[in-house]
Structure 1
Amino acid sequence: MPFGRRDFGLANSSITGGMSTDVQEFDDKYQLDLELPGFKKEDIQAELKDGYLTINAKHEENKDEKDEKGKFIRRERYSGQCQRSFYVGDAITQEDIKANFENGVLKVEVPKKEAKPRVEEKKLIAIEG
């Protein structure tokens, strides 16, 4: 069941610095609000594979300050990455999912779709004789 009550569809999480997520259920969709402060749109990737929606965010930053002789006064580096995966179901396609990034929050809308029951195919065996 997509976004089950027990774990809200969380498949795995390797978080090293954030990505708090709120999941809201509406009549026709689920909405995920993922907090990604300090990230830019180009730092974020969303992928749908085998019914799992995976959000990846990676950011690297270097701040170098030198004095007038070229010696470092301060040198800071920041590197952060986080990832979350949610089971959204096999009936969902890439085109169904809408995403918008604004003010450090990634909003993702996933429509509710009923899983299509698999139709058993009859495969006839040729009988020789």
Structure 2
Amino acid sequence: MKTDIREKDDQYELAVDLPGFKKDEINLDVKDGYLTISAQKGLDKDEENKKGRILRQERYAGVCSRSFYVGDVKPEEVKAKYESGVLTIALPKEDARKCSSCNTITIE
């Protein structure tokens, strides 16, 4: 899965190339701070070629997945769109956590 990650002012945007997949073959899951993208493709054996006998047919069949650590993001805050073979995911940006009781460590 070729992926581009862009940082914008208020969000991160992931663009994942998934050519040849249908929207219902792609799954997104947010669990324990990780966003997991998985896509599964099977072979369609129901199709018949009425114009002749198929001598060779090459199609990808299998599963591919990718995980990214995204922190404490709620699933309802994640927006996703699939268009022209590219899955675009928008993740909200967390405010930088400020340390209220930071301790300085002395280097020896």
Q: TM-score range by the shorter chain?
A: 0.7 to 0.9
Give the CA deviation at 1:61: 2.6
User: What is the RMSD computed on CA atoms of the aligned residues?
Assistant: 2.3
Question: Which runs of 5 or more residues in structure 1 are unaligned?
Answer: 1-18, 118-129
CA deviation after TM superposition for structure 1 residue 81, in Å: 1.9
Q: Which amino acid aligns with 2:67?
A: S
Q: Give 2:40's match in structure 1, choosing from 34, 48, 58.
A: 58
Q: 1:100 to 1:35 in 2, by over 3 A?
A: same
| Structure 1 residue 116, shift from structure 2 partner | 6.8
Q: Which residue of 1 aligns with 2:84?
A: 103
Can you list the C-alpha shifts for 1:29-77, whole angstroms capped at 9, x where unaligned? 0000000000000000000000000000011133654777xxx543535
- 1:1-129 alignment runs, 5 A limit: 19-62=1-44, 64-65=48-49, 72-74=53-55, 76=57, 77-90=59-72, 92-114=73-95
Larger radius of gyration: 1
**1:13 corresponds to which residue?**
none
C-alpha distance in structure 2 between counterparts of 1:75 and 1:40, whole Å: 23
Unaligned runs of 5+ in 2: 99-108
* Displacement over 6 Å in runs of 4+: none
Question: Normalized against structure 1, the TM-score is what?
Answer: 0.64
> Take 1:73 and 1:50, find their aligned partners in 2: how far apart are those partners?
47
**Alpha-carbon distance between aligned partners in 1 of 2:6 and 2:51, rounded to the nearest angstrom:** 51
How high is the sequence identity, in percent, across the aligned residues?
49
The 3-state SS of whatever aligns with 2:60 is strand
- Name the SS of the counterpart of 1:100 in structure 2: strand
1:98 touches 1:109 (CA, 8 Å); kept in 2?
Answer: yes
SS at match of 1:61: coil
Corresponding letter in the other structure for 1:41:
K
